[in-house]
A and B are shown apart, each in its own frame.
Chain A
């Protein structure tokens, strides 16, 4: 049996690999969507925060001698803390300005961070190996999956679901959403709006940090590892609808699969297919797949 002249094993294999790559897209675009949805800041520093997460994982191993599980907790916290500093020191003074200022500011911050890391750690980056428990592969017959990648999919799914529930289904989440709709009114109820926006940025940054830790055993940990990814992730967020959390998650996984399938049918297009989808989406549904028309 063949599908469009390709063996189904190959296609299934690529779908699975696409889901794995989609896990990173989903986690990162979820963080971006939270930050944009709640703060109206287009966070160009997201790729740099992701890179910081990967380096923080390396630091917990190389400097503190801790294992991967510790890194999985410490690194997102550290990146979140850095996010707090950025939010308090810079971002909060530009909330009332045009979106473009947030974009320029965070882009500048990203360049600064990446420049400093390159200065400190060198352009070639640092070694980070797969944690021992996840060494090895599963041979599923139609495709070979490294065990660690299976874990990444699971970790990403659980995290995305938890964050979505937190914001869409809890009281804290409802405060967050209300504060972005009408901050003045919400503060009249005695809710600390400034604290809420700060925590939204911290959450977004921590998610980027977590993606960085998850990525460290797969991709070479280098100061520039986030720069290529961030553009793809923005395309995912735009396609899903700016600010839509469920849109970001679903589009993240979906784009991973589309990219994987393109590698079967027409490999040369695999690096641009995401942008083609984004362009089509903007033409047909300018607000994105899950965005609300203004």
Chain B
């Protein structure tokens, strides 16, 4: 089979970068989002996150310091090299001032390094690696919504406090899963609970029956899934099939579950599950007001990261206005100085390591009978205070916090 060189070139060009060129000149304030627009994470981030950023710009008034504000986005296709080359192009050629989200922790960590190099700002909303504010922390990066440490710790503590004290872990067999389980185990132990068993499952395993049978034969009263994405969906669906967590005395706990996944599973399957989230659309008047506007544009409710994109973009723009410049260091100083109060977070603040400190919530998924309509999925069962949820300063591995003490 022969491929003509020109064909190959055309193919390569076709699959290469598709970053949108920024239309306005350098005299605009630009925020960029590196999103998976069509792949696995396009539901939890993607177009919804871009829409949230656009809403923030619109609500802010469209201009700051007399310059128009522009939102740019690109499909990073879940590839680190694509994300980094677009980030470089944005910073070097298009004069993007801040990147306000990127899919995948690995890509985000790389982009965060580039932000340091180019004296720009980076805000992470969708990805959850604790590294952003520990080993890889830097003065240019903010981790806004959650991290896996906070999810594991909050879920662990709150569920034990609620009586679930014997844990069995179904853990995906790579670093993410191992860390997730270790953090949750620590949290469970700190509240007096114990881990009675665990089983490792390979990444992308579609069948969990073997793991579920082991969980079922243990004397655990909480079965926790240290998994993500499609793995979590399959595991929870099959747990329901095996009658675990529905009608018996066991509770299911998902350590990382987005509302989009609950929507895709359906309440019939997901009912009763416990999960931690930084946000739910139906918490109060303000969350509903924002979410319903978002719903009109997207046809679905925002998840915690999409709401976080709105809140963090808004906070960034306010800081630019307060600083009177787009210089990253001065804007960052303002962002860390100003408290955050909006529909997404009450009395939030950004710690020196870049961690946005906020309360987390433990939710229980409603049964179909309890739900009164579309997207009425969660019932709030506990609030975990920011200091209780996130890595304490004493355990931080970030040099920015060490300097202080």
Q: Closest CB of chain B to A288's CB: distance in Å?
A: 24
B21-75: which residues lie under 8 A (CB-CB) from chain A?
38-44
Known contacts A122-B42, A268-B200, A220 near B1 by CB under 8 Å: no
The residues of A that contact B243 with a CB separation of less than 8 Å are 136-137, 144, 146
B204–A123 CB distance below 8 A? no
Residues 1 to 49 of chain A near chain B (Cβ within 8 Å): 13-14, 17, 20-21
Q: Once the chains are docked, how many angstroms separate the CA of A260 from the CA of B208?
A: 11
Q: Which of A167-175, A180-188, A222-230, A279-287 is the interface stretch?
A: A222-230
Q: List 12 additional contacts besides A124-B43, A228-B206; criterion CB under 8 Å.
A: A14-B210, A17-B209, A17-B210, A17-B213, A118-B42, A123-B42, A136-B243, A219-B234, A260-B210, A263-B210, A267-B210, A271-B205
Q: Which residues of B contact A144 (CB under 8 A)?
A: 213, 216, 242-243
Q: B88: CB under 8 A from chain A? A: no
* Nearest 7 interchain pairs by C-beta: A127-B266, A124-B264, A220-B233, A271-B202, A263-B210, A146-B241, A124-B43
What residues on B are CB-neighbors of A17 within 8 Å? 207, 209-210, 213
CB distance from B294 to the nearest CB of A (A): 16
Q: Which residues of A contact B42 (CB under 8 A)?
A: 118, 122-123
Task: Check B234 against A100 for contact (C-beta < 8 Å).
Answer: no
With A123-B41, A124-B43, A124-B264 known as contacts, the answer to whether A222 contacts B233 (CB < 8 A) is yes
State whether A220 touches B265 (Cβ < 8 A).
yes
- Bound together, the chains give a CA A123 to CA B40 distance in angstroms of 5
Map CB proximity to B onto A185-227 as digits: 1 under 8 Å, 0 otherwise: 0000000000000000000000000000000011110101100
Tell me whether B199 is interfacial, beta carbon within 8 Å: yes
CA–CA, A268 to B205, complex, Å?
A: 11
The distance in angstroms between the C-alpha atoms of A222 and B40, with both chains bound, is 10
User: Within the complex, what minimum Cβ distance (angstroms) separates A224 from chain B?
Assistant: 7
Which of chain B's residues have a CB closer than 8 A to the CB of A229?
206
Q: How far is the CB of B399 from the nearest CB of chain A, in Å?
A: 36
Given contacts A146-B242, A220-B233, A222-B230, contact A127 B209 (CB under 8 A): no
Cα–Cα, bound, A271→B204 (Å): 9
Q: Which residues of A contact B260 (CB under 8 A)?
A: 122, 124
Name the residue of chain B whose CB is nearest to the CB of A124: B264
- Mark interface residues in A79-116 (1 if CB within 8 Å of B CB, else 0): 00000000000000000000010000000000000010
Q: How many whole Å from B207's CB to the nearest CB in chain A? A: 5
* Interchain CB contact under 8 A, B241 and A125: no
A119, A126, A219, most chain B CB atoms within 10 A: A219
- Closest residue of chain B to A272 (Cβ to Cβ) is B202
Residues of B within 8 A of A (CB): 1, 38-44, 173, 199-202, 204-207, 209-210, 213, 216, 230, 233-234, 237-238, 240-243, 260-261, 263-266, 268-269
Complex Cα distance A3/B233, Å?
A: 34
Residue A270 at the chain B interface, CB threshold 8 Å: yes
Complexed CA–CA distance, A270 and B39 (Å): 27
Q: Which of A252-271 contact B (CB under 8 A)?
A: 260, 263, 267-268, 270-271
Residues on the A chain within 8 Å of B269, using CB: 127, 129
CB pair A129 B266 closer than 8 Å: yes
The CB with the most chain B CB atoms within 10 A, among A119, A122, A228, A260, is that of A122
Looking across the interface, which residue of chain B has its beta carbon closest to that of A101?
B1
Are B237's CB and A219's CB within 8 A? yes
A67 within 8 A of B: no
A-B contact count (CB 8 A): 96
B207 with A220: CB separation less than 8 A: no
Q: CA separation between A225 and B230, bound complex, in Å?
A: 9
Bound CA–CA A122/B265 (angstroms): 13
Whole-angstrom CA separation of A148 from B243 in the bound complex? 12
- B241–A224 CB distance below 8 A: no
| A129 proximity list for chain B (CB < 8 A) | 240, 266, 268-269
Residue of A220, A268, A270 touching B237 (CB-CB under 8 A)? A220
Rounded to whole angstroms, the CA-CA distance of A229 and B206 in the bound complex is 8
Report whether B230 and A224 are in contact in the complex, using a CB–CB cutoff of 8 Å.
Answer: yes
B38 A270 Cβ-Cβ under 8 A: no
Question: By the criterion of a CB under 8 Å from any partner CB, how many residues of chain A are at the interface?
Answer: 40
Tell me the complex Cα distance, A10–B40, Å: 35
A143 interface residue (CB < 8 Å to B): yes
* Assembled-state Cα–Cα distance A118/B260 (Å): 14
Cα A128 to Cα B209 in complex, Å, equals 18
B213 lies within 8 A of A13 (CB): yes
Shortest CB-to-CB span from B44 to chain A, Å, is 8
Given the known inter-chain contacts A100-B1, A137-B242, please indicate yes or no for A218 contacting B233, CB distance below 8 A: no
Chain A neighbourhood of B268, CB < 8 A: 127, 129
In the assembled complex, the Cα of A240 lies from the Cα of B42 at a distance in Å of 38
Cα(A268)–Cα(B203), bound, Å: 11
Given A124-B263, A144-B213, decide whether A119 and B43 contact each other with a Cβ distance below 8 A. Answer: no
How far does the Cβ of A105 sit from chain B's closest Cβ, in whole Å? 13
Residues of B within 8 A of A148 (CB): 241
- How far is A228 from B206 in the complex, measured between Cα atoms in Å? 8
Jot down 8 A-B pairs with beta carbons below 8 A, ordered by A. Answer: A122-B42, A123-B40, A123-B42, A125-B264, A136-B243, A217-B241, A219-B234, A224-B40
Q: Which residue of B lies closest to A16 (CB)?
A: B209
> Chain A residues near B261 (CB, 8 Å)?
124
Chain A's closest residue to B44 (CB) is A124
Which of chain B's residues has its CB closest to A100's CB?
Answer: B1
- Distance in angstroms from A270 CB to nearest chain B CB is 7
Given A122-B264, A123-B40, A218-B237: A143 touches B207 (CB 8 Å cut-off): no
Residues of the A chain whose Cβ atoms lie less than 8 Å from the Cβ of B41: 123
Bound complex: CA of A220 vs CA of B236, how far in Å?
9
What's the least CB distance linking A127 to chain B, in Å? 3
CA distance A217 to B234 in the complex (A): 10
CB distance from B386 to the nearest CB of A (A): 29
Q: Which residue of B lies closest to A267 (CB)?
A: B200
Q: Nearest Cβ distance between residue B296 and chain A, in whole angstroms?
A: 18
> How many angstroms from the CA of A271 to the CA of B40 in the assembled complex?
21
State in angstroms the CA–CA spacing of A229 and B230 once bound together: 14
Residues of B with C-beta under 8 A to A260:
210
Query: Which residues of chain A are near B1, meaning CB under 8 Å?
Result: 100
